[in-house]
Structure 1
Amino acid sequence: MGFTFKQFHVDDFGCGMPVSTDSVLLGSWAPLSQAKRILDIGAGSGLLSLMAAQRNHHAHIDAVELDETAANACKQNVAHSPWPARITVHQQSIQQFTEQALSQQRAAYDVILCNPPYFLSGPTAANNARANARHTLNLSFSELMHSCHALLSDNGLACLVLPCTEANNLIAAAAKVNLPLQLSVAVSSVSGKAANRQLLLFSQQAAPTGCLSQSFDILLRHGVYSDTMRALTEDFYLKL
């Protein structure tokens, strides 16, 4: 089972959240080329970490995952990838990881990636792993953005993906820890439909021109990938 990409395979069996279009979008969109240290918060099966390793041939990536089953899957996926020496998997909460990193004065990160738990309320999944992956049960937006602020370098970037319905809550939490939003990209599943997810880029430094807003569609009306989606994902998807 799992999902095979052009340069690696992800086995997501038992993970709270399987491989998703949201993570593929984030991993292909985030600006990673200049990063030396990358942090993947809530790494799950390791998809974002593996995408980062493929896109940046020099960076070291720390993948933090609380759930034991998902962390073990992440370790196996990393071990069988072309980049096991550049990805370190930490099976712990990001709160614990942040506390340890600050107390040990570890080097800061140039880019942080996260496809976070996002439901603030509503019914949770019966499966605990899926509930923790989808709902802010063990990681609130405030805690998440505190960790981003604490662990980023002075010029570091935090890149996240969220449903449009939850994006404003995360932006508000980021503002409280002085992480201004630099770029927001509204993504629609199909051309002509309202956007249903947002790619968000936060920085330790406010942009002189303020926040930029962009948008694109994943699919055109006749069911083929848009030029933007194709350009983002052609290095990963087998059929592109």
Structure 2
Amino acid sequence: MTKLDYIPNTDIKMIHVDKSYTFGVDSIILLDFAKMKKGKTLIDIGSGSGILSLGANAYYNLKEVYAVEIQDEKSELLEKNLKLNDISNIEIINKDLNQVDLETNMADYIITNPPYYKISDNINNKSEEFLISRQEKYLTLQNILDFANKTLKDRGKMYMIHKPERMVDIFKSSGNLKTKRIRFVQSTYNKKPQFILVEFVKNANDGLKIEDPLIIYKDGTYSEEMKKINGHL
């Protein structure tokens, strides 16, 4: 059974399949964090059904988007979403990232909501789709960083959401990608960060901006900022 949703603050429609692993608040806040210029080239790593590809394309009127997704079912759903919205400038690459052969230094931006967790035996009762989406079964943090170092232009940017506990892994393996902007995401003001948003710039000078944290909930409902991000204001 399928249902139809809209990407916040756009007219873009998205088909979802019930009981399938769909996009959540992490993708929505990553879209808000990412800043791009009109007419540029974007690569979406682990695109799923297209929330980041479609959202960024709508926000910034991009020239072209490459949506890389290893799972056949999600790639097929993304194709349906492209047809539903009559979008022709997003190319689906239904491959393992390690088999994707794009030109060196060709992309202005990369965006990714990657698997957060290293391979573990603790959640093997979950579906294969869930494991691929949330554990580094086929796509590791190092795979993403290596790919970004190769394909981003000089001063190109990558936007990523991840878990704070993976910060050491992120920063020690980033290569020529300099961390330039960080924002922590907390469920409430008195809770530890749940996510970290990171902006990398290839071959940038040193210098890091730590932004005020994003608080998702206040007094049991979305905070004012989160309402705006989610299209409720």
Same fold (TM over 0.5): yes
Is 2:125 aligned against 1:116?
no
Q: Secondary structure at the match of 1:190?
A: coil
**Structure 1 position 28, deviation (Å):** 2.0
Q: 2:41 aligns with which of 37, 41, 46?
A: 37
How many pairs were matched up? 226
Counterpart of 1:91 in structure 2 is 94
Deviations 1:149-170 (A, max 9, x none): 1110101001000122223322
State the SS of the aligned residue for 2:187. strand
Q: Is the 8 A contact 1:45 1:74 kept in 2?
A: yes
Listed one character per residue, the Cα deviations across residues 46-74 of structure 1 (whole Å, up to 9, x for unaligned) are 00001011111243111010000011011
Cα distance in 1 for partners of 2:205, 2:4 equals 39
Kindly indicate whether residue 189 of structure 2 is the aligned counterpart of residue 191 of structure 1.
Answer: yes
CA contact (8 A) 1:115 1:161 kept: yes
Per the alignment, do residues 53 and 142 of structure 1 end up closer, same or farther by CA in structure 2, a change over 3 Å counting? same
* Displacement of 1:16: 6.2
Q: Over aligned residues, Cα RMSD in angstroms? A: 2.0
* Contact 2:28–2:229 (8 Å) recurs in 1: no
What TM-score does the superposition give when structure 2 sets the normalisation length?
0.88
Percent of aligned pairs with the same amino acid: 19
Would the aligned equivalents of 2:186 and 2:194 in 1 still touch at CA under 8 Å? Answer: yes
SS at match of 2:17: coil
Q: Which residue of 1 aligns with 2:210?
A: 213
CA contact (8 A) 2:38 2:62 kept: no
Aligned match of 1:46: 50
- Partners of 2:62 and 2:177 lie apart in 1 by 26
- Tell me, in whole angstroms, the C-alpha distance in 1 between the residues paired with 2:96 and 2:19: 16
1:150 maps to a residue whose letter is: K
Counterpart contact for 2:119–2:137, Cα < 8 Å:
no
Q: 8 Å contact 1:118–1:136 — kept in the other structure?
A: yes
Do the aligned partners of residues 167 and 55 (structure 1) sit closer, same or farther apart at CA in structure 2, a change above 3 Å counting?
same
Residues 154-210 of structure 1 deviation map (CA, whole Å, 9 limit, x = unaligned): 010010001222233222221xx22121111001112322211010111112344x2
Q: How do 1:4-43 and structure 2 match up within 5 A?
A: 4-5=6-7, 6-13=10-17, 17-34=21-38, 36-43=40-47
CA contact (8 A) 1:35 1:110 kept: no
Partner of 1:95, secondary structure, is helix
Q: Which residue number corresponds to residue 135 of structure 2?
A: 135
Of 195, 200, 203, which aligns to 1:202? 200
Q: Distance in 1 between matches of 2:45 and 2:39?
A: 16
Contact 1:15 1:129 in 2 (8 A): no
Distance across 2 between alignment mates of 1:186 and 1:143: 23
- Matching residue of 2:154: 154
Q: For 1:157, what is the secondary structure of its paired residue?
A: strand
1:15/1:94 CA distance change after superposition, 3 Å = farther
Unmatched runs of 5 consecutive residues or more in structure 2: none
1:2–1:87 distance in 2 versus 1, CA, 3 Å: same
Q: For residue 136 of structure 2, give the secondary structure of its aligned residue in structure 1.
A: coil
Deviations 1:80-136 (A, max 9, x none): 125x11211111111111xx214xx6x611110000011114323431121011101
Task: Name the amino acid aligned to 1:3.
Answer: D
1:3 is aligned to 5
Look up the equivalent residue of 1:124 and give its one-letter code: I
